[in-house]
Amino acid sequence: MFPRLGMLWSTAAGEGVEADRWARYGIIVTSPGDLGFEWEKKPFKDEAETFQSDTLPAGRKFLASLRAKNPGSIVLCELYFFEADVNAYPPDSPWWFRDRKGQTVQFWKGCRNMAVANPEYIEHIVRRIEAVVKATEGRAGIFLDNLRFEKEAKAGWTALLTKVRERCGDVPILVNSGWDSDDLDWVAPFINGILYEDSVAHTEDKNAERFYERIQRQWALCREPRVGINEKFGKRNDVTAMRREFLRTLVYTDLFFLYADSTYGHQHSWWPEWNALLGRALTPPVIPVAGKLARRDFTGGLVLWLPADAPMAATVKLDSPHRQFDQKESLRDISVQPGTGVLLLKKAGQ
């Protein structure tokens, strides 16, 4: 059902208990701890490979409450692989990545890069993933941050994902590619989706329409159930920026969407358009064509987008009365300006 929204750790403000707010999203990325699962205590926190047994009932109860409110939601638990907090492992652990001088390398403040090609470290992360799958009784998948593309990094990621598929079957896996939207065909068949973190604003060719064609093609390479998210960063009062990427995501792709403040917490507002009941898609995602109007039909309405390089506005005649998502007036035709789009809902009874 569309629109599809994704949540990354933070939920928009709203009424009801926490599970009510979470259940508005189709994809929920969080930590095992936020679900109620607590790792076994170890001298260094990420050494744990099992959860405390007395925390399993609470975690499973919370997952069950989410499923009851939205049976279609997919929960993904974040586990660190590329990086780890400085207190996650012993300072002299061979699992830390070291440069040519033998020094560890800082990623964010308070965390360091890991040796993702180290076989023992890969095995350790696989066991942690297995622990999540077991604790959640297969009702949650995995989120892995900060995909990397160097030869050694690719080998490590491939080894990890191969083992996970051998031992955890079809558990959903979402991987964050950051700004990158190229060179992802190698990883797509192992995973269920890619998080494009403001990637549309950082394409090498500066061509957003081509970006959307690319991410839909990559979506098709991923495993089912597919869980890719197109995230755009921007100011909360910039409805134009939010709407532009929201509509292009709907018309050009099947991906989930999020418009957030920044990578720091992915905090965001809930926009009125996100409540529009478009329903199921009746037509496949449109392949972008320069200057050409894109239209996608849904059981509850339709979405139009006209690329900015179109030579003039486009007028669309509607075969039945529709209304704009925030208006009551019936429309039988609508004009779309270049670089804009519209979400239309069918009038009641249509």
* pLDDT recorded at residue 54: 98
Band (320; pLDDT cuts 50, 70, 90) = very high
Q: How high is the mean pLDDT of the chain?
A: 96
pLDDT at 14 over 90: no
* pLDDT recorded at residue 102: 95
pLDDT at 349 over 60: no
The predicted-structure confidence for 35-81, as pLDDT tens digits, reads as follows 999 999 999 999 999 999 999 999 999 999 999 999 999 999 999 99
* pLDDT recorded at residue 18: 87
Mean pLDDT, to the nearest integer, of 129-136?
Answer: 98
Cα–Cα dist 100/322, whole Å: 63
Domain residue limits, the chain: 6-277
Cα–Cα dist 184/143, whole Å: 16
The predicted-structure confidence for 286-302, as pLDDT tens digits, reads as follows 999 999 999 999 999 99
Alpha helices in the chain (DSSP H): 18-22, 32-35, 56-69, 119-135, 151-168, 208-221, 239-252
Report pTM: 0.97
pLDDT at 321 over 90: yes
pLDDT at 350 over 70: no
Band (15; pLDDT cuts 50, 70, 90) = confident
- Rounded to a whole number of angstroms, the CA Rg of the chain reads 22
First to last CA, the chain: 18
* pLDDT recorded at residue 347: 79
The percentage of residues in the chain with a pLDDT greater than 70, rounded to a whole number, is: 99
pLDDT at 19 over 80: yes
Cis? peptide before 225, omega within 30° of 0: yes
Cα–Cα dist 54/40, whole Å: 10
Cα–Cα dist 185/195, whole Å: 14
Mean pLDDT, to the nearest integer, of 180-208?
Answer: 97
CB crowding 59-80: b at 16 or more within 10 Å, else e:
bbebbeebeebbeebbbbbbbb
Mean pLDDT, to the nearest integer, of 16-26?
Answer: 92
Class of the 6-277 domain? alpha beta
CB 78 within 8 A of CB 143: yes
The predicted-structure confidence for 192-203, as pLDDT tens digits, reads as follows 999 999 999 999
